[in-house]
Amino acid sequence: MEIKTITVTKGGERLDSYLAKSLDYSRSKVQKLIEDGFVTVDNKTAKAKEIVKENSVITVEIPKPKGLDVKAVDIPLDVIYQDDDVAVINKPQGLTVHQGSGTGDETLVNALLYHLDSLSGINGVIRPGIVHRIDKDTSGLLVVAKNDTAHLSLSSQIESKTCKREYIALLEGELKQDKGRIETFISRSTKNRTMMAVSSSGRKAVTNFEVLERKNGYTLCKFLLETGRTHQIRVHSKHIGHPIVGDPVYGFKNQKFKLNGQLLHARRLSFIHPSTKKLVEFYAPVPMYFEELLLKLGFKNYK
């Protein structure tokens, strides 16, 4: 166990933000340390959102990293780009990103451990390399960090919104607006704790949308995320009265088509490369099952 002591030279900032800068850690890693009781301020239990005061003494206990005990599994993986810092994966529908309750060893992380030579350790044993997630039944692009320096860079870009993520989805009904911005709070549903819901409090969620095409009672829509809340696009689509086709949780109860999940695909991803500092952009076309339904309904503007 390593112990670090920091004397605050300038107050007025949230504890988690202040520590992230002081320790050169991601904010999520600092929040985990605080949550697990490894941080005190003036010998008192700390809270992530408390405001630090000048001359306060912050004590941080940093546990020794555990060995990686999530096993590597030979699961087919579409790695569309890879170098020493990052890997960009085109995740298929049906694959969970990391282990959780009842997931077992059939996750993206298990596949990453098999196919890649290294992964960042910032998010611990269960989520090595994972900078951001997409839902199990959402397909498409996500970037994986292969070392801690790259992870910090990518996390910072997501927080500052310089990492751009574009999704495409097929919505129920014909959306009247051509484009717009959905800004709400999202929190856990009070009726079902496995679901998220628009609420009067919670975490701010912002989604920008643009209609690509309308056909036969459906809308093909492009989404750009400003925030990355759990189930954000799915919740916001339901909120505006046009849930995503095939969504078993937020969609219509009676689905017309036999699908294995929502028709939501992360098709474009761009970020500043951690080492070269150049903008890189990646594209993944919609999966075959998605394209087949679009063609059946007469859509053309999906590429």
**46 beta partners:** none
Quote the CA–CA distance of 259 and 249 in Å, as a whole number: 13
Quote the CA–CA distance of 274 and 92 in Å, as a whole number: 26
Which string of b and e fits 126-160 if b means at least 16 CB within 10 Å? Answer: ebbbbbbbbbbbbbbbbbbbbbbebbbbbbbbbbe
123 Rama class: left (phi>0) / alpha (psi -120 to 50) / beta: alpha
Quote the CA–CA distance of 299 and 291 in Å, as a whole number: 9
Instruction: Tell me the pairing of strands 203-215 and 264-272.
Output: unpaired
Active-site hit among 74, 78, 83, 135: 135
Quote the CA–CA distance of 140 and 207 in Å, as a whole number: 18
Q: Helix crossing, 27-35 with 148-160: angle to 10°?
A: 100
69 catalytically annotated: no
Structure tokens at 246: 């095939």
Structure tokens at 161: 């919104």
The catalytic residue positions are 135
